[in-house]
Amino acid sequence: MTLQSPHNDVLIMPAPAKVNLALHITGQREDGYHTLDSLVVFGGAQDVIHFKTSDHLHLAVTGPFADGLRQEPDNLMVRAARLLAEELGLEAKADLTLEKNLPISSGIGGGSADAAATLLGLFRLWDRTIKEGPLHSIALTLGADVPMCLEGECLRASGIGDELEKGPRLPDDLGLVLINPRVPISTPGIFKTLREKDNSPLGPLPSAFLSATALADWLSNQRNDLELAAIEQAPIIENVLQALNDDGDCLLARMSGSGATCYGLFATSKHAQYAASRLAFSHPNWWVSHGKVQ
């Protein structure tokens, strides 16, 4: 993630979508947590957080999906700020403004991305550093996806999502189209209805994919093990996948995470941009975004 400072008193941090290119559910622990094996990338859309100094902790939410968060008494960003301040021995003082562009409960880790970006932005705002161990502990306390959102690059995630290793090198300018039919999905509900929980892990991963086609070919032999359960809860996901697959430039379409957001993989960000324009025109009630894989 790159922090920008267009004005001396305002820091701006992007919080990009977390996209599961493949998500294999490999088991369930005694404590109820499911284990997984997933290839994760970031991009296609993002929230944006503005940071300013303040004498108290305040969060304002703007943007197209702000209404779904304004009534939250314990927003994940606020929890992140308090936990970090406690670890650093500081008072939690900051004026945060979240531009909420990512749909809520949509399988692309919006809340986790916001929490991770909050931690990174507050380091800069408060002019502090922290060791990797305590930071990882804070992130994991906030949620299993937060540590990977801190990394913000192609990762292979296993365990409950907390065991991370650097993913393969991806082609430059790889494009994503993200589509959500504006249907929220309950992740606990999806796992509750999941029939098979002991599935095979990802296939052998190369150190690099030299082309978008090579990545799409590899992904075609992988899965999202939550996809069928999500379609049972929200059948419109099938329509989204079909719309992406019908686009002539789309190399592969799949649901991300627990849904209902689906991604389309494209050879370049320009191909993704043109496809997003076509899809937004033909499906005006869907949320459609596009961008480069970061």
Amino acid occupying residue 66: A
CA atoms within 13 A on the CB side of 168: 19
Query: Helix, strand, coil: what percent of the chain each, to 5?
Result: 35, 30, 35
Please pick, among 47, 114, 145, 225, the residue that the annotation labels catalytic.
145
Report yes or no: 160 and 35 within 8 Å, Cβ to Cβ: yes
How open is the CA angle 230-234-235, to the nearest 5 degrees?
Answer: 100
The radius of gyration computed from the CA coordinates of the chain, to the nearest angstrom, equals: 19
State the amino acid at position 22 in one-letter form.
A
- Determine the Cα–Cα distance for residues 222 and 291; give it in Å rounded to an integer: 23
Backbone torsions φ then ψ of 185, nearest 5 degrees: -120, 135
Q: Is 166 noted as a catalytic residue in this protein?
A: no
Non-local CB neighbours of 284 within 8 Å, separated by 6+ positions: none
Which one of the listed residues 18, 47, 114, 225 is annotated catalytic?
Answer: 18
Concerning whether 55 is annotated as a catalytic residue, the answer is no
State the Cα–Cα distance between residues 112 and 80, nearest whole angstrom: 10
Task: Name the residues annotated as catalytic.
Answer: 18, 145
